Amino acid sequence: MDKYIIDGGKKLYGTVNLQGAKNSVLPLLAGSILTDKPVKIRRVPMISDVENMLRILIELGCKAERDGDCTMIDSANAVSHELPARLTKELRSSVFMLGSVLTRFRRAKIAYPGGCDIGLRPIDLHLKGLQRLGVKIVEENGFISCSADVLKGAEILLDFPSVGATENIILAAVKAEGRTLIRNAAKEPEIVDLQNFLNAMGAKVQGAGGSTIVIDGVKKLHGVEYEAMCDRIEAGTFLIAAATCGGEIETKGLNSENIAALLHKLSENGCKIYTKNDRIILSSTGRLKATDIVETMPFPGFPTDLQAQYSALCCTASGTSLVVENLFETRYKYAAQLKRMGADITVRGRTAVIRGVEKLRGASVTAEDLRGGAALVIAALKAEGKSTVLDLSYVDRGYSEFEHKLKKLGAQIKRVRV
Ligand code: EPZ
């Protein structure tokens, strides 16, 4: 298990080269088995969630090769419809493989994905959507077995705009008979990326980014070479780090619309933000005003995946901030660790009250989930003195070359093997 040793108090300056979006590349990889022709995806980040997804594809019988940030998938010899439990347990979001495996094999089997570090993570909306398409579902002994002689288009209304359920239904509908409508669909930019990828393979998907998505089933999908979008959560993480520590950084390749809610908050905090096309420049004195309240919402609201990082910023902003996490039950595990650094943070249910303090003190802290781990790194970069951040397996799930990118911006951070 590795750890970071961080000497806090340095301002951050420079440009961040963004990785491909983890939450886009994962569904794209799932979609690669919708054709038996080769699929090439560019801008695939070197992160453990992607490694796990590739392992799952290989267990299904696919060939997967990486060449730098380009990944080639050849599923011509894919034979299995059973998703390996030891891997789907590691990668909860592999549940949207159901849709693509069903489209390919008309059958799919997956171990019931347990909850995870941030909450229960039920999949009832996924299963209800698949059933609307004619999928028969049997849940027994902790496994979900799906089968469908024919996948038929249907009208589906999601009780909640679930990202994964929207993606799963799209992947199951692209070769179904007839038209599928998804109402109250998730509007995240990663779904637009999936739509563009599938249409480049010959699918007929329209409306992604809005709340109604229309999919007209086609007979066949062909191979594709596609470049995934940049990771807006990685960009947001670095922008929050620079806002918190002070300095000036630039991100390139990301449309600022994809994180408009965060940029709005950061300018309320007193940051100077300049955006032009796919460039975002943020400068900060490092001494910020607290924002009164921030509530996580489905896109285009404030992203839940930036809630922990933003809470770290609030710890030294002057005034009191209220953070409300509306999407996941237990996304505040990092709070106890921030308190070890001197943060004044009180959590009640889905709400955190954060009173800004003059300074955070370096301490030894332990990550317990992906975005909480990023929040601890931000707090350690701000804190006075030395911190260690333990258990980097979490940040490794979603951030490639995290310490290298931070070092390039002037952070005093090193990774050591424990
Ligand atoms: C995706 O997870 C992302 N993961 C998450 O990012 C992100 O936090 C989340 O969307 C929300 O934006 C990937 O894309 C791989 P949801 P997902 O289904 O699809 C409830 C990260 O840090 N729900 O939109 O699992 C669920 O319990 C990760 O990169 C049901 O009730 O999110 C939650 O409260 C973490 N029933 C809410 O919806 C269902 O069938 C949002 O979940 C499905 C979801």
Distance 326 CA to ligand 1 centre (A): 11
Q: What is the residue with the minimal CA distance to atom 18 of ligand 1?
A: 162
Please state, rounded to an integer, the average pLDDT across all residues of the chain. Answer: 96
How many Cβ atoms are within 10 Å of 355's Cβ, its own excluded?
16
Q: Best substitution site from 56, 162, 328 to test ligand 1's pocket, by max atoms within 8 Å of Cβ?
A: 162
Q: What is the residue with the minimal CA distance to atom 10 of ligand 1?
A: 163
- Confidence band for 284, pLDDT divided at 50, 70 and 90: very high
Q: Can you give the pLDDT at residue 91?
A: 86
Report, as an integer, the average pLDDT of 253-281: 97
Q: Best substitution site from 130, 163, 188, 307 to test ligand 1's pocket, by max atoms within 8 Å of Cβ?
A: 163
Q: Whole-structure pTM over 0.85, yes or no?
A: yes
Percent of the chain with pLDDT over 70: 100
Distance 235 CA to ligand 1 centre (A): 19
The total number of residues written for the chain in this structure: 418
Query: Looking at the annotation, which residues are catalytic?
Result: 116
Distance 255 CA to ligand 1 centre (A): 22
338-350: per-residue pLDDT in tens? 999 999 999 999 9
Q: Give, to the nearest 10 degrees, the angle between helix 370-382 and helix 232-245.
A: 20
Residue 95: partners with Cβ closer than 8 Å, 6 or more residues away: 88, 110, 113, 123, 126, 164, 168
Report, as an integer, the average pLDDT of 246-259: 97
Closest ligand 1 atom, CA of 49?
Answer: 15
Which CA distances in Å does 273 have to 160, 250, 396?
A: 33, 10, 29
* Secondary structure of the chain in HEC code, one letter for each residue: CEEEEEECCCCEEEEEECCECHHHHHHHHHHHHHCCCCEEEECCCCCHHHHHHHHHHHHCCCEEEEECCEEEEECCCCCCCECCHHHHHHCHHHHHHHHHHHHHHCEEEEECCCCECCECCCCHHHHHHHHHCCCEEEEECCEEEEECCCCECCEEECCCCCHHHHHHHHHHHCCCECEEEEECCCCCHHHHHHHHHHHHCCCEEECECECEEEEECCCCCCCEEEECCECHHHHHHHHHHHHHHCEEEEEECCCHHHHHHHHHHHHHCCCEEEEECCEEEEEECCCCECCCEEEECCCCCECHHHHHHHHHHHCCCECEEEEECCCCCCCCCHHHHHHCCCCEEEEECCEEEEECCCCCECCEEECCCHHHHHHHHHHHHHCECEEEEECCCCHHHHCCCHHHHHHHCCCEEEEEEC
Does residue 28 carry a pLDDT above 90?
yes
- Confidence band for 112, pLDDT divided at 50, 70 and 90: confident
Does residue 145 carry a pLDDT above 80?
yes
Amino acid at 299: F
Of the ranges 83-92, 102-111, 143-152, 205-214, which one carries the lowest mean pLDDT score?
A: 83-92
Q: Can you give the pLDDT at residue 123?
A: 93
Q: What is the residue with the minimal CA distance to atom 1 of ligand 1?
A: 163
Q: Which residue has the higher pLDDT, 164 or 121?
A: 164
Q: What is the residue with the minimal CA distance to atom 30 of ligand 1?
A: 122
Q: What is the residue with the minimal CA distance to atom 19 of ligand 1?
A: 164
Q: Can you give the pLDDT at residue 251?
A: 98
> Based on the number of CB atoms within 10 Å of its own CB, is 124 exposed (0-12), middle (13-18) or buried (19 or more)?
exposed
Q: Can you give the pLDDT at residue 121?
A: 79
Distance 22 CA to ligand 1 centre (A): 13
Q: Can you give the pLDDT at residue 115?
A: 66
35-67: per-residue pLDDT in tens? 999 999 999 999 999 999 999 999 999 999 999
Distance 162 CA to ligand 1 centre (A): 6
Closest ligand 1 atom, CA of 188?
Answer: 12
385-401: per-residue pLDDT in tens? 999 999 999 999 999 99
Q: Best substitution site from 26, 91, 160, 295 to test ligand 1's pocket, by max atoms within 8 Å of Cβ?
A: 160
Q: Can you give the pLDDT at residue 94?
A: 87
Distance 113 CA to ligand 1 centre (A): 13
Site residues for ligand 1, CB cut-off 6 Å: 22-23, 26, 93, 119-126, 160, 162-165, 186, 304-305, 327-328, 370-371, 398
